[in-house]
Amino acid sequence: MNNTNFYAAEQDFKVAVDCIIFGFDAGDLKLLLVKRDFPPCAGEWSLVGGFLRLDENLDQAAERVLRDYTGIEKVYMEQLMAFSEVNRDPGGLVVSAAYFALMDIRDYNHQVQNAVWCPVDKAPPLIFDHDRMVKKALGRMRRRASNCPVGFNLLPDEFTLPVLQQLYEKIFGFEMDKRNFRKKIQGMNILVNTGRKDHSTSKKGAFIYSFDEKKYKEMLESGYNPNFFSINYNGR
Amino acid sequence: MNNTNFYAAEQDFKVAVDCIIFGFDAGDLKLLLVKRDFPPCAGEWSLVGGFLRLDENLDQAAERVLRDYTGIEKVYMEQLMAFSEVNRDPGGLVVSAAYFALMDIRDYNHQVQNAVWCPVDKAPPLIFDHDRMVKKALGRMRRRASNCPVGFNLLPDEFTLPVLQQLYEKIFGFEMDKRNFRKKIQGMNILVNTGRKDHSTSKKGAFIYSFDEKKYKEMLESGYNPNFFSINYNGR
DNA sequence: ACAAAAGTGTTCTCCATACACCCATGT
DNA sequence: ACATGGGTGTATGGAGAACACTTTTGT
């Protein structure tokens, strides 16, 4: 006896996941896109995606898709929402759960030949409702970045403050004052200065920092919630 | 030729919607629950829900479910996310999109005999993953209420400030200072004093206000984004 | 010496918070 | 007259925003 029989009269759908995978490189916020090599819409640009299988939940499906396309297991990932317009996919009755992921682009090891990192603001039109998904993901990323230090997921373990500021400017879409940025981020007490300098972008060299995740978690546990970038919940 | 044939090899699922419907009454934040009258888990408490049909998207399915259970068409409603744990529903392979809705409980006209408005903090255990959905919905509602005036969706067109404050205290889970609350809410310039008073809770009577949606929309369009309850995005 | 990026402090303004008393009226 | 809930203003502190100059060093 199949356990689906209680609802046998209901309509069947395929369930997909589509991943909006963000990276940061060369001062640009980028998106992993693939040229579809199967119908429908073969040859067009698309998010990376796949279908939900019997023995996994959506999170696991998204992780699998990410692994298949990037070779990476552990990245920051979170579900956005389900997309379900009628006929959204001309290939069939498909409801798709969109996920957004943040990864260090340097961890990417070219697994798939037709996948490309593309600056978000120069992305080509995407198939189906994928442009809507990207828009949604950008909004969600901004909100997350306002509340939690998720930005570090887009950077290597070590980075300089100018680079970190560049990243946040790209995420939020506006320029920030250097002094205010540094005051704020350093006041949070979650960065460690390695004492080393990176001279790749200036003669003087910029100090290299790392994100102290342990300190951050302790801080959270002790009930203090640092407010990133002008979002205050004022201690509740 | 069926248009699903491109993905014929993929697994089929049923797709459901489950609605977390909030109301506010007698000083309590309430939730519309139903006692399930069909298997599996008949007799247990559940969110209101239904299955996605061929010719509708999830938003429409959620609206249909809401209409069937409450008799109401237009309420504030928004998708939370999809829930998909393996075996989350013992009745079949079902992925469910959770929606949360805010409505004026007085608009409710008893459509379904086994539906009940239950104070959120006194709700019985629910079937499947519905408790998780409720938890998620509460979080989302708090965040929304911090940024937009969604709270008014839970009240009649006319209300007093003491009632409004009660509502926000219930939403956020802590008590607020009367003077600060009024200063803030009145400073937003989105309430209209009708000049009339409600004497049902005091001898003095409390002024009756209404929410000026037009003024609020104008304000949004003019680029000013009022920050509710201590959440500031500082003008970006 | 100079160009180019890194680094550093102070002032102002606004908003959240804390806090206590008078008002109106039905009984 | 008094009990009950409705209504009001002020002082303080903290955080974001605006703003300009010095430092380092490779060329």
* Domain containing residue A179: CATH number: 1.10.10.10
Same domain for B182 and B200: yes
Q: Taking CB atoms and an 8 Å cutoff, what residues of chain A touch B95? A: 15, 52, 58, 82, 95, 97
Query: Does any domain span residue A227?
Result: yes
Q: Do A11 and B53 touch (CB under 8 A)?
A: yes
DSSP A11: P
Whether A227 has a pLDDT exceeding 70, the answer reads: no
Same domain for B126 and B159: no
Per-residue exposure over B79-112, b if at least 16 CB sit within 10 Å of its own CB, e if not: bbbbbbbeebbebbbbbbbbbbbbbbbeebeeee
Peptide bond into B149 cis (omega under 30): no
**Which of residues A90, A115, A146 is at a domain's end?**
A146
pLDDT at residue A51, rounded to an integer: 98
Given strand A206-211, what is the order of strands in its sheet?
A158-160, A206-211, A191-198
**Percentage of residues in chain B having pLDDT higher than 70:** 92
Whether A50 has a pLDDT exceeding 70, the answer reads: yes
Whether A175 has a pLDDT exceeding 50, the answer reads: yes
Alpha-carbon distances of B67 from B60, B101, B107, B139, B220, rounded to whole Å: 10, 12, 12, 24, 30
pLDDT at residue A92, rounded to an integer: 95
Q: Rg (Cα) of chain A, in Å, rounded?
A: 20
pLDDT at residue A8, rounded to an integer: 95
pLDDT at residue B103, rounded to an integer: 96
**Residues 6 or more apart from B123 whose CB is under 8 A from it?**
B31, B33, B45, B134
Alpha-carbon distances of A105 from A109, A177, B117, rounded to whole Å: 9, 26, 49
Query: Does any domain span residue B6?
Result: no
Arithmetic mean of pLDDT, A36-49: 94
Lowest mean pLDDT among A11-25, A142-156, A216-230, B147-161: A216-230
Window 60-119 of A, Cβ < 8 Å to B = 79-82, 84-86, 90-95, 97
Give the Cα separation of B178 and B160 in Å (integer).
13
- pLDDT band with cut points at 50, 70 and 90 for residue B63: very high
- pLDDT band with cut points at 50, 70 and 90 for residue A148: confident
Whether A231 has a pLDDT exceeding 50, the answer reads: no
Give the Cα separation of A63 and B127 in Å (integer).
27
pLDDT at residue B58, rounded to an integer: 98
Same domain for B107 and B185: no
Same domain for A111 and A170: no
Q: Which residue has the higher pLDDT, B131 or A111?
A: B131
Alpha helices in chain B, H assignment, sequence order: 58-70, 130-147, 161-172, 178-187, 213-221
Number of domains within chain A? 2
Beta bridge mates, B136: none
pLDDT at residue B2, rounded to an integer: 47
The predicted-structure confidence for A177-225, as pLDDT tens digits, reads as follows 999 999 999 988 899 999 999 999 999 999 999 999 888 887 777 666 6
Alpha helices in chain A, H assignment, sequence order: 58-70, 130-147, 161-172, 178-187, 213-221
Q: What is this structure's pTM?
A: 0.92
Q: Which residue has the higher pLDDT, B223 or A39?
A: A39
Peptide bond into A124 cis (omega under 30): no
3-state secondary structure (DSSP) of residue B30: strand
Whether B85 has a pLDDT exceeding 60, the answer reads: yes
Same domain for B22 and B135: yes
> Torsions phi, psi of B213, nearest 5?
-65, -35
**Percentage of residues in chain A having pLDDT higher than 90:** 79
Range of the domain at B86: 14-146
**Percentage of residues in chain B having pLDDT higher than 90:** 78
pLDDT at residue B232, rounded to an integer: 38
Nearest by CB: B86 against A57, A90, A146: A57
Same domain for A90 and A192: no
Query: Does any domain span residue A1?
Result: no
* Interatomic CA–C1' length for residue A181 and nucleotide D23, angstroms: 19
Q: Do B52 and A7 touch (CB under 8 A)?
A: no
pLDDT at residue A113, rounded to an integer: 83
pLDDT at residue B113, rounded to an integer: 82
